Amino acid sequence: MVGSSTEGDCTDCVAGKYLEVTGSDAETDCIDCGVGKYSAAGSDAAADCLDCALGRYSVTTPIAESGCIGCVAGKYVDVTGSDDATDCIGCVAGRYIDVTGSDAASD
């Protein structure tokens, strides 16, 4: 856009991306947070990129928090920022988890 006259003409970086500099003129300047992380649209710092919560992971980027996927029933993940379904740990013999997105073996 040439000749913009209002801040409202500026477009947010999409969720899962951030941009720390002013005066950018292209969507490609927005930086991915990385897998296992998410951010809100319009983020302006790498610190805005947050780890997917316990019990959740992401394999793609960019994403909003809703893009973090819960481990399937029978598995859990007890660390934040997981970036693959293989991070989800199966319950030991004799125990089970009947919900998705569990964050501890004791669930």
- Tell me the pLDDT tens digit for each residue of 50-70: 999 999 999 999 999 999 999
Q: Is the sign of the CA dihedral 54, 60, 62, 64 positive or negative?
A: negative
Residue 2's pLDDT band (boundaries 50, 70, 90)? low
Q: Which of 83, 87, 88 shows the shortest CA–CA distance to 34?
A: 83
Residue type, 3: G
- Tell me the pLDDT tens digit for each residue of 11-27: 999 999 999 999 899 99
Using a 10 angstrom Cβ sphere, with 0-12 exposed, 13-18 middle and 19 or more buried, the burial of residue 53 is: middle
